[in-house]
Every structure is written in C-alpha cells, then in structure tokens.
C-alpha cells in the first residue's frame, strides 16, 4: 500500500490539533461522548482528503469513497442526535469517569488523542481498497457494495428499533428483545463489524484490507463495545438482562435459546 508523500505527517499533526480542540469542547460541555463522533467524522473526512489528493479516478475508488462517506455521515449523525444534541452522556464514559477519579481529565484527553490512531488504523483498509489496480469493475466490487449496503441498513434498523423501544415510558427498566435484538444482544455491533468486509471485497483480499474486520471485531467484542455495554445493562436492568444473556447470543445473531427455569 502506497500513500501520498507527507500525507501521514500532515494527518497526525492536524489530527492532534483537532482532537485537542474537540476535547476542550467536550470538557466545557461535560460530554465525553463527543469522542465517538471524532473518529466517525474524522475517518470520513480523512478518506475524502486522501482521495482528493491522490488523483485516483477509477470507478472503484469513487465507490469506496462514497461508501465510507455514507457510513461516516450516518453514524456521526446518529451519535450526534442520540447523545450530543440532547446532552446525553454515554454510560461507558460515566463509568470511566468514576473509575479514573482524579485522573479522569488527563485520561479522557489521551482517549481523544487515541482516536487519531484509530482513524489511521481504519484508513488502512479504505486506502487499500481505493488503490486496487484492477482497471475494470468486477463482481467482487458489486459484492462489496452489497455488503456495505446490507450492513449499513441493518445497523440503521437496529439503532432505530432500540430508539423506539427506549422512547416508550412503559419499557423503562426492561430489555429490548424486538426485531434484530431478539437474535443478538448487540446487533448494531454485528452489522458494524460486517460493514468492514466491504473493503476486503473491494481490495480483492489484499492482506492489509483485513485490518478492518479483524480490528473492529476485537474492539467491539472484547474492548470498547460489548464488555462496557454488558456491564451498563446489568447495572441498570439486573435480572432482566441476566435472563436475556442466558437466551440470546452476545454478538452473532442466532435463534434464541429456551429460557432457563
């Protein structure tokens, strides 16, 4: 994978400034959930800048750009609407603030800076896909677009189903088991992971393209996604969520198991 000279130097320098500015805004607003929009919006913007500077003109490179921009816009808008606009702090960051105590301020700053590293990591499969040298559009490209559309639509539906459930006052303290949430405790995370296989298909399986699905699975399943969400749900829903855990897969959708006695 080749890159434009000085692209990464400029990327990290500018990223440091943007992350610092975003952190200062988050501190003033007392809303660390802004950190999530930093990487979703930053990845889309970075991909756009790279494509603009690279001179790539293949239909595939434009398709890759459109796919990542649509992903970036949809997820950034969802996060802004669900958290930033309403001033709703993510339970994960509330727990982290309590856990870190006096070191919360400096640790959150490093978390904001870490987003630049995450953006760089997930830019690798995007750039790899853009640089695919095969001159003609193939069935693999069509498959890539299909995977991206399926994943983006699936994630949007899962987010909508959860939002509708939470908006009903009668569901307070209950567990959403409606729609996709009947088959997976975290279908939104599953579809987010699935989305990154689009770049594997666009890149015709070039090894660096696998960074996307592998890294995303590790982050969502073991680091920043499922573990924090599970702890938060157990804390707020207790036995109801434990029952849900006993019948429903954590990540991969599957037919629910019979409820334990």
Phi, psi for 149 (deg, rounded to 5): -65, -45
Distances (CA, A) of 51 to 7, 45, 125, 153, 179: 11, 10, 13, 25, 38
pLDDT higher than threshold 80 for residue 4: no
pLDDT higher than threshold 80 for residue 48: yes
Mean pLDDT within 114-139 = 94
pLDDT in tens, 200-239: 999 998 999 999 999 999 999 998 889 888 988 888 888 9
pLDDT in tens, 168-185: 988 888 999 999 999 999
Q: Are 197 and 203 in contact (CB under 8 A)?
A: no
Q: Are 256 and 185 in contact (CB under 8 A)?
A: no
Euclidean distance between the first and the last CA atom of the chain, given in angstroms as a whole number:
55
pLDDT in tens, 235-259: 888 899 999 999 999 999 999 988 7
Q: Are 115 and 11 in contact (CB under 8 A)?
A: no
Distance CA 259, CA 247 (A): 6
Ramachandran class of 20: left when φ > 0, alpha when ψ lies in -120 to 50, beta otherwise: alpha
Q: Are 107 and 23 in contact (CB under 8 A)?
A: no
Q: Give the sign of the dihedral formed by CA 227, CA 258, CA 157, CA 196.
A: positive
H-state helical runs in 55-82:
59-79
Band (78; pLDDT cuts 50, 70, 90): confident
Structural domain boundaries in the chain: 1-131, 135-261
């Amino acid at each position: 994978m080749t890159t434009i000279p000085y692209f990464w130097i400029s990327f990290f320098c500018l990223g440091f400034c943007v992350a610092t500015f975003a952190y200062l805004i988050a501190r003033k607003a007392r809303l660390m959930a802004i950190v999530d929009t930093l990487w979703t919006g930053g990845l889309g913007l970075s991909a756009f800048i790279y494509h603009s500077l690279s001179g790539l003109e293949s239909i595939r490179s434009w398709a890759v750009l459109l796919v990542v921009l649509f992903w970036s816009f949809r997820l950034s808008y969802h996060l802004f609407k669900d958290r930033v606009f309403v001033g709703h702090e993510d339970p994960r960051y509330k727990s982290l603030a309590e856990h870190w105590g006096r070191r919360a301020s400096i640790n959150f700053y490093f978390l904001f800076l870490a987003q630049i590293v995450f953006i760089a990591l997930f830019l690798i499969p995007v750039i790899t896909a853009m640089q695919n040298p095969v001159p003609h559009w193939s069935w693999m490209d069509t498959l890539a677009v299909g995977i991206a559309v399926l994943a983006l639509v699936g994630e949007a539906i899962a987010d909508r189903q959860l939002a509708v459930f939470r908006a009903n006052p009668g569901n307070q303290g209950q567990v959403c088991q409606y729609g996709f949430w009947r088959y997976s405790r975290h279908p939104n995370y599953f579809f987010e992971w699935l989305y990154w296989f689009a770049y594997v298909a666009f890149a015709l399986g070039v090894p660096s393209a696998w960074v996307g699905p592998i890294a995303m699975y590790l982050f969502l399943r073991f680091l920043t996604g499922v573990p924090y969400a599970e702890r938060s749900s157990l804390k707020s829903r207790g036995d109801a969520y434990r029952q849900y855990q006993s019948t429903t897969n954590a990540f991969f959708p599957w037919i629910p198991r019979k409820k334990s006695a």
